[in-house]
Amino acid sequence: MQRIKVMIMTEQVKAAKKKPSKPTQITKDMTFGDVLSKHPKAAEVFFNHGLHCIGCHFAFTETIEQGTKAHGMKDEKLKKMVEELNGKIKKKSN
């Protein structure tokens, strides 16, 4: 049984290595923690949009949308911020 698990895991690793890596698209449904752990430079974008609480304990469980709504951010500004975040990670991957 253990040998089968090792064989399956080995195949999964091989398959993952074959797939080209592409940046993750950031969405408003991602938590601040997910975004910051994958893209630390995103902190600058959050700060520039008045979200200075990214070190808060809520930031790692709260979605970007929930956090921006709690701070009174309008939908249009949220949309622009997410676009800016994705532009930043796209530039980084090029």
Give the residue extent of every domain in the chain: 21-93
Whether the Cβ atoms of residue 15 and residue 9 lie closer than 8 Å to each other: no
Q: Stretch 18-44: mean pLDDT, rounded?
A: 83
Residue scoring higher pLDDT (86 or 22)? 86
pLDDT at 12 over 80: no
Instruction: Round to whole Å and give the CA distance between 51 and 74.
Output: 13
Give the confidence band of 6 by pLDDT, cuts at 50, 70, 90: very low
* DSSP for residue 28: T
pLDDT digits (tens, 9 = 90+) for 43-90: 999 999 998 877 788 788 899 999 999 999 999 999 999 999 999 888
Residue scoring higher pLDDT (82 or 94)? 82
* CATH fold for domain 21-93: SP0561-like (1.10.3910)
